[in-house]
Homo-oligomer: A and B are copies of this chain.
């Protein structure tokens, strides 16, 4: 009997150890595929169906290589050929910024396409989502994204903006269009909304489905206080408001076939861009009639001076942010008679998939 007891104890002990080991190092599903936004011909980085990222890089003489994503650094492991490979924990669906760390140097992954975020051009990865179809390149008419340089007296330079014109703009040459001014977040830039956000493709698809009215989108750089990347506490909206209201809008209205009035002009932004949208729309009620804040603050009813000119307030965020705050703010606005709409992006945080979905919702409500 004693022998059996010992055997059973050993078995139990092994089982417990095995369970603990599994908890610490869960089996990783081996269905990795190259990320949809890799550089041409590159096999890595890859993503599996759990949303894990597998990075790989050749660094034969390195002693430590890490994958730095979502605020966590994951160790890669070296093989005999000097190639390092490793995986992250599962990530939320959608787009994430990340980088590699090679013996202490933080660098872009040469396998991935590059996006401006965190104040630098860095690697991006796309975790597949059920609704990624909203920004797929489909066989539908496509709008154009114009890179423009507009004169800015207030900042003494030519400033860059991107302007989306919807399909048909070039051929229906007598038609005029409403305009959405759409702002990026802190330490992003004027490329972010159409590169990682796919604003142009979201619009192409919505227009092809008859779900959105064709309109122009203008995206420019919102961090006019360029020297101070320090923080938003002492943020002064005046320099950017001047560029937008006194320089960019007149340029757009004179170079594109716009409906150049308050009724046909919207402003929206994500994160810091929402913060800017809130300040500028409140300061300049005569300029915009449709407001959108994506993960970027709230309006209080008492802040809004002119009820009649305001057509729509749209406030959104990810379910992993503060959805109750958004819903409560919108309820309060509705109770005061405003046309206010809330939207919560399920399963996402303060990242671009939340904002792609927000634009997809917001665009369907605009100028109607």
Contacts and interface: CB of A to CB of B under 8 A. Distances in A.
A151 B226 CA distance: 40
A71 interface: no
Contacts of A120: 39-40, 110
Interface stretch (A16-24, A142-150, A270-278, A318-326): A142-150
A59 B110 contact: no
Contacts of A64: 61
A161 to B, nearest CB: 10
A165 to B, nearest CB: 8
A293 interface: no
A146 B142 CA distance: 12
Total copies of the chain:
2
Nearest to A163: B144
Contacts of A139: 151, 158
A226 B41 CA distance: 9
A4 interface: no
A235 interface: no
B82 A104 contact: yes
B142 A145 contact: no
Contacts of A114: 108, 114, 121
A148 B57 CA distance: 34
Residue of A58, A59, A102 with highest tally of chain B CB at under 10 A: A102
A40 B119 CA distance: 7
Nearest to A60: B104
A241 B137 CA distance: 23
A108 B109 CA distance: 8
A153 B107 CA distance: 39
B173 A57 contact: no
A322 B33 CA distance: 46
A132 B170 CA distance: 34
Contacts of A122: 110
A244 interface: no
A137 B121 contact: no
Nearest to A151: B139
A144 B114 CA distance: 23
A255 B170 contact: yes
28 contacts: A39-B120, A40-B226, A41-B119, A57-B107, A58-B105, A58-B106, A59-B105, A62-B103, A62-B105, A63-B63, A82-B104, A100-B107, A102-B105, A103-B103, A107-B107, A107-B110, A108-B108, A114-B114, A137-B149, A142-B148, A142-B149, A144-B148, A144-B163, A144-B255, A145-B147, A146-B146, A146-B147, A170-B255
Interface of A: 39-41, 57-65, 82, 100, 102-110, 113-114, 119-122, 137, 139, 142, 144-151, 157-158, 163, 170-171, 173, 200, 226, 229, 254-256
3 A-B pairs with the lowest CB-CB distances in the bound complex, closest first? A59-B105, A62-B103, A142-B149
